[in-house]
Chains A and B, each alone.
Chain A
């Protein structure tokens, strides 16, 4: 394969996965919500985009619709679990990922069922190179956008409450905040970003079927976040890039090395071990969460360090 195209393809996939990791960072890194069905919201965005784009709806409208549908589904499904302990949300989201795939697989009428569905490309250029470059520009822009949004939110008063909910839900409630609303909004926003990633994924690969949305996608996003450092958007970025490079590296190695084991099996065994080892020995990840960047921080520090005045 053309090496330049391969690098472009890697960048595009890394970008899509980093956007997913950023959305998980908003949900888990800042708010402490364990979304174990990330792939479902990615899938919702991808299929919404595919169906609308086939009807001839303009690109940006289909993309926004995908994000909205993912957000709505995220809210509806997780509402019953949000008031309960974290493990209920984990079980519900994990199960929902499986159910959504099952429904799309079984209903041929909706989007081709198991046969999948063709997706019109957003950039109908004849040249492969040109459309790859256009995709890089598009994904780069969306990545920058979601990074700035999540980063701005994380350091806003809203983000401070999210972190406080993560660290002590009851204390935040006692201060009169409606933690339920904050959790629900963080999940809706996270799902919307995941839906956005789904839309750009669908238009880039130009064909989607239910087998592209298996649970390992969710697991990969979690590895990226945990390796990079949850609670730090730069960590999400670094983690996404590193894991995508490992992913590509092993795929290249597969062609040149003859291993006694199937590389695909080996890859997942190594991912499983990697996540366990990080959790055991470096739970904060490569780039740990830093202090909040709030304008009043210096002020507060001054106040804290000054001797008490009578």
Chain B
């Protein structure tokens, strides 16, 4: 039962090494494959790259040639996709956060009759399998004249993130000590002023955590993007990359995946701490 005293730290170090390696390994594999020449990809060592080349990356930025309004080259409009993705993410994130903060304040602070049921009803929507939902959703988008339009995604994506964000933020507002605002009311401030000046700044870490979660959920979708955006020049990265097959003599897709994800990794690294702090703040009484 009693293990030797030195064994425990060793086990722990092994566990940590295993978790870190397992987390990073697939990302590493994609990264090195994108740096390989065709020759090395087939005949080289799978785990390392000896002769890195940036060929595939540079190919992503080749100008896309238009010919009588038609696409003439099989080039990836990578920058177009990147810009579309940025627009969609920014729009969807802004809508998600604003509506979530409003809804969460209503449920956690004002507590209308049945507030708990509302929160649970929102949360229950995660149960609905999305695998077939996109077809009726597509007809809806079509009727709104939003097909092949980035607005479709901006309106649909909040549906995926809002329930969790409302739950998280309303848990925070619910646990916040009421006396925080009381003094402001005594001074004659309105609810809005008290919220904007006192409560919102206090809940900032949790708002950031909700934002990180929303980004994670939004960026994990590929089906909605693929179905709603048939035109190559209106696609986001997830939709566009799914349409490209890799081929023996072209690894552009691997480079594109790696480059697109590479923009997310620094953001993730910077926000990881804030994400955990915000989650904790929502979970702990009185924050």
* A is bound by B: no
Could you list which residues of chain B lie within 8 angstroms of chain A, going by C-beta atoms?
Answer: none
Could you list which residues of chain A lie within 8 angstroms of chain B, going by C-beta atoms?
Answer: none
